[in-house]
Structure 1
């Protein structure tokens, strides 16, 4: 890991909001591509998923989702339940940011994609008792769309369409379908 990335991880925990935010953006950009240093921060990021600061929980989840493509040991298969737990964080904004980035795990391999899809299908079907469940469902649809766009896998689109067909409220059915236009 180069000096700039190391510094960004340190600055991402800064109490200075601007410095922390700039470091966050830098790390997201740095992790858009495969990196060879993922395991240098992996365990710290796993610990960050339960940090007392909700910003750190959210960022740790987003960084891990981005780093899944840099995981030749397939640690994510073991760690995914911990990452998924943040999508149900007590702070809705933390949960939502985590959920909106978790689709990237599906790009790291067939088994990872299958697991992410299972989690999202279950959440769509069984999450109606959650507060803001219509937003969560929308995010699940958007995640499936991102995966479909990246993987060109018709099974993902078919699954999404089947889930949308289970929605009884026409307003939301239309909203979820809009993701697929």
Structure 2
């Protein structure tokens, strides 16, 4: 693995929070584009998805979502459900970080895009019993918008509009629609 990236992964475990944060941001920046080291860290990140440390779970989810574009073996098709579980983490901030980044999986290809949209759709329709569900719905609508902006697929916008129409509370429907303005 690239020594620069390796040092950032090591710095995620540093005692100093600023060093951790800087390392985290460097990794996020690096994975905005395809990288050749995704499989050097993939299995470790998959393991972190269920780590007792919520910071590790959050980072793993965000990094794996970003690394989906650097996954020529399409491992994400097998690992997605473990990643999706973090969007339901008992620590809401961890769940939210995962949910806000999982749309990036859809950038990896048609199967991945369909998988993300299907999971968003199912949860939007069936997640009304979840605590903070209006916030969760907002994050999913924002995720669809981010995916749409990246790939310009009109079906994504159509799906988002269908989901927004399901919202019975006009206040929240208006809030979700504001994402698409």
TM-score by length of 1: 0.98
Counterpart Cα distance in 2 of 1:66 and 1:34: 9
Q: Which residue of 2 aligns with 1:130?
A: 130
Aligned residue runs from structure 1 range 23-172, under 5 A? 23-172=23-172
- Write out aligned runs for 1:14-29 (5 A): 14-29=14-29
SS at match of 1:88: coil
1:127-149 Cα deviation digits (max 9, x unpaired): 11011000000000000001111
User: Unpaired segments of 5 or more residues in structure 1?
Assistant: none
Further displaced range: 8-17 or 114-123 = 8-17
Describe the superposition over 1:17-72 as per-residue Cα deviations: whole angstroms up to 9, x where unpaired: 11111110011011111001100000000001111110110001000001000000
Residue 16 (structure 1) shift: 1.9
Whether contact under 8 Å (1:61, 1:83) holds in the other structure is yes
Would the aligned equivalents of 1:13 and 1:56 in 2 still touch at CA under 8 Å? no
How well do the aligned residues superpose, as a CA RMSD in angstroms? Answer: 0.6
Cα distance in 1 for partners of 2:90, 2:157 equals 30
Contact 1:65 1:102 in 2 (8 A): yes
**Would you say how many aligned residue pairs link Structure 1 and Structure 2?**
181
2:12, 2:105 → 1: CA distance?
A: 22
| 3-state SS of 2:168 partner | coil
Structure 1 CA distance for aligned equivalents of residues 163 and 30 of structure 2: 34
Deviation at 1:14, TM superposition (A): 2.0
Following superposition, the deviation at residue 15 of structure 1 comes to: 2.7
Give, in angstroms, the shift of residue 2 of structure 1: 1.4
